[in-house]
Structure 1
Amino acid sequence: MAQTLVPSLHCPKGVVCNSRRMVSTKLWNSLLVPPQGPRSRKVGNAFKVLAAKTESSGVVSRLEDLLNLDTKPYTDRIIAEYIWIGGTGLDIRSKSRTISKPVEHPSELPKWNYDGSSTGQAPGEDSEVILYPQAIYKDPFRGGNHILVICDCYTPAGEPIPTNKRARAAKIFSEQKVVNEVPWYGIEQEYTLLQTDVKWPLGWPVGGYPGPQGPYYCAVGADKSFGRDISDAHYKACLYAGINISGTNGEVMPGQWEYQVGPSVGIEAGDDIWCSRYLLERITEQAGVVLTLDPKPIEGDWNGAGCHTNYSTKSMREDGGFEVIKKAILNLSLRHHDHISAYGEGNERRLTGKHETASINTFSWGVANRGCSVRVGRETEQKGKGYLEDRRPASNMDPYVVTSLLAETTLLWEPTLESEALAAHKLQLQV
């Protein structure tokens, strides 16, 4: 049979084909000139079989087989992925260890340590930082009984290190007055997907801009929606892990997405958001896309990225709760600068008074007004109870800081009578 020497055919992603190969003339012609009629489908199948038989494709297949192995029939041991927050306050770190059997509570897990000098959290001469397991989630990447473990960080003497924001939040949420009010949080995490090599939003022409904002929010279509597979994969991964994710949507700026987590109670809100961010980092890593939580990734007439935080207490959710909400808003107005300073790096580039934001320098609130610092829903006003939405937090905020600060300001902090009266007068003028 006659044979033809040809260059390598285009192979699937992840498969390295030989640069030269011998194929029969008949097969080569069948690949170049698809047969007429219904037989054309068979050509595609034949090519797939040919590609699957390459040596490198076999390697990929065997690797996938190993990654998907179910270890439960052979061992009780599981893999626990210990996750913590690094020195920048945004970098998520993790490493794996074997646990002798499945566990149901963080207290069953051992403490662990890591090299804090490599994460900017300890000096080289005393680099050991201790990981305390705090929350467990199912691992959607490994499956089975394998788990993800949210940890916070301590010195060997048992003191929280400076970047451990969870410890202080847990203390606030353990205050009896806070416990009695059962604080609920619904957090809207916005994020932007970037092309790997150029760090430019997904779907945007390299070095150029798409059409103006308008057709992209909650949009459908190849020319309007970029990154849906990542959003959907993340949605399912969160559900599998046990995170109380409540929805997702495409955002106003193309290449930007949002998901919502909640209602979560107290410290669980911070744990859920950090675990969801870890999942998103892993999924974008696998997709070859860069994730950014920058609050204003593209300067100019483009929406920034926030992390709007919906908040309510037991008293706010009961009859007469609207008056409690207004008292909480008054307290928030008096500590506006304290909150702004803790609501994320670079937030001044986002809170300009444009693009559905309030000015960073002025506190405001309103019903159904997305240009305010704090928004109250129309339904809350009508029912006389419900929740408030703090629209100030940036997309890169620390959820432990924001959630605990909201509880502290509205439940534990008491303003002076004079400042309270002055603030009440100012807020009354806004409405």
Structure 2
Amino acid sequence: MIEKEKIKFIRLQFTDIFGQLKNVSINSKQLDQALNNQVMFDGSSIKGFVRVEESDMYLAPDPSTFTIFPWRSARGTKTARLICDVHTPEGEPFEGCPRSVMKKILKELKDIGYQLFVGPEVEFFLFETDENGNHSTRTHDKAGYFDLAPTDLGEDARRDICLTLEEMGFEIEASHHEAAPGQHEVDFKYSDALTAADNVSTFKLVVKTVAKEHGLHATFIPKPMTCENGNCMHLNMSLFQNGVNVFRSEEDEKGLSQNAYYYIGGLLKHAREFAAITNPTVNSYKRLMPGFEAPTHIAWGEGNRSPLVRVPAARGEATRIELRNPDATANHYLAFAAVLKAGMEGIRNKIDPPDCCCENMYDLDGKTQKRRGIKKFPENLNEAVQELENSLLMKETVGEHIYKLYLKAKKREWKEYSKAVHQWELNRYMEM
């Protein structure tokens, strides 16, 4: 394919523990070397990887992820990419590689006969740029949910995002303007969990690249505007065994199997523990506020969009469980692994969820919540980090290497935020 398409460069992509996409670009003549896992890089220069005295790391490309970028360089040369795992000099999977962590959890699942399918719903904002190409705080339009042109000024960019993704092998199901000004969503078809996580990496890269071509800045920040809805990364999950969706049931009045209930039970029990992974930034918790279709309480419902977990109306083979708290600032490999581990703990330990919630969670008073055993999702990053620090399950999931470095980084992030003086404080107190 490389010879036929006259591809000049290949990007070997990988992800650090905070979800940032990295890459080493090689000449196509070095392909054999790359496929033999012989391309080395300095791991000490990547946050959360290794120390300077043990810096040599190797990239192990996954050939199934080979994709040609639809865009060309200024000189007209073609570029392709391969998504890689990170290996040690001994040829073993590196314990700090998030993709390897996820593959480990998926192997545990496969060993007991299951396969997870995930459909992520990733939202983003388009902001205008200034004369220097830097992002501003002005949204591209003032449109709302499902609005169309001419009110929806992001239609052209969104269309080009869809076309680019399709050229890269995505099956696009829908795209539309979201609820907030300048906010958009492009939905692509669900797939096995590892492919879905790889697709999130590609999706974010394409969105940012195409937005830049349109003179815009795309961001996945959860809450860029105080009084508007924020960006989510809802995870729609189905568990299959021998090609059959094990979340479905013809006998149950809600159409859910016992395993589906147990999976929900596991998600709810461990939600506070995985919060710092699925919602990893200070800004993540600004989105999780009442009134913006974002969950604040650990509960579940069917059509109800206010609890943490929702079961959409589709049944049969389309039966799925939607987790509504994650956002796209998360490392998607670690987030998928943490959520899957929590759900499987529910099945393994037969954790029954509480009663289904049909009412708006934002309207429940404290006494009702306490009587029904409904806990709050963490309200800030510091609270979430404390929960993660006390979680043996999450430590087991991500491994000790990532666990220690991740906790250290998030504690430092909260400390820096707490010490910083913000514009709100100046506006509030300068004249006091």
- The answer for the alignment partner of 1:408 in structure 2 is 341
- The answer for the alignment partner of 2:41 in structure 1 is 114
- C-alpha change, 1:414 and 1:182, in structure 2 (3 Å) is closer
TM-score by length of 2: 0.68
Q: Quick one: which amino acid aligns to residue 333 of structure 1?
A: L
* 1:345 maps to 2:291: no
**Aligned partner of residue 310 in structure 2, secondary structure:** strand
Aligned with 1:164 (options 91, 97, 115): 97
Identity %: 21
Tell me how far apart the structure 1 counterparts of residues 313 and 347 of structure 2 sit (CA, whole Å).
28
Structure 1 gap ranges (5+): 1-69, 205-209
Tell me how far apart the structure 1 counterparts of residues 327 and 233 of structure 2 sit (CA, whole Å).
5
Deviations 1:280-320 (A, max 9, x none): 23223333322221111112x20010000100112114645
Contact 2:119 2:235 in 1 (8 A): yes
Tell me how far apart the structure 2 counterparts of residues 228 and 265 of structure 1 sit (CA, whole Å).
29
Tell me how far apart the structure 2 counterparts of residues 116 and 107 of structure 1 sit (CA, whole Å).
17
- Structure 2 matches for 1:249-398, cutoff 5 A? 249-299=176-226, 301-313=227-239, 314-317=245-248, 319=250, 322-323=256-257, 324-346=259-281, 347-359=284-296, 362-380=297-315, 386-398=319-331
**Aligned partner of residue 174 in structure 1, secondary structure:** helix
- The answer for the alignment partner of 1:98 in structure 2 is 27
Q: Which has the larger radius of gyration?
A: 1
Contact 1:316 1:385 in 2 (8 A): no
- C-alpha change, 1:129 and 1:385, in structure 2 (3 Å) is closer
* 1:80 maps to 2:33: no
Residue range with higher mean Cα deviation, 136-145 or 272-281:
136-145
- The answer for the alignment partner of 1:32 in structure 2 is none
Tell me how far apart the structure 1 counterparts of residues 219 and 125 of structure 2 sit (CA, whole Å).
5
Contact 1:189 1:306 in 2 (8 A): yes
- C-alpha change, 1:160 and 1:328, in structure 2 (3 Å) is same
Deviation at 1:110, TM superposition (A): 4.2
* 1:399 maps to 2:332: yes
- Structure 2 matches for 1:184-195, cutoff 5 A? 184-195=117-128
**Aligned partner of residue 190 in structure 2, secondary structure:** strand
Deviation at 1:203, TM superposition (A): 2.1
Deviations 1:16-41 (A, max 9, x none): xxxxxxxxxxxxxxxxxxxxxxxxxx
- C-alpha change, 1:114 and 1:385, in structure 2 (3 Å) is closer
Tell me how far apart the structure 2 counterparts of residues 414 and 327 of structure 1 sit (CA, whole Å).
5
What is the root-mean-square deviation in Å for CA atoms of aligned residues?
A: 3.4
- The answer for the alignment partner of 1:15 in structure 2 is none
TM-score by length of 1: 0.69
Aligned with 1:220 (options 144, 148, 153): 148
**Aligned partner of residue 150 in structure 1, secondary structure:** strand
**Aligned partner of residue 246 in structure 2, secondary structure:** helix
Deviation at 1:107, TM superposition (A): 8.7
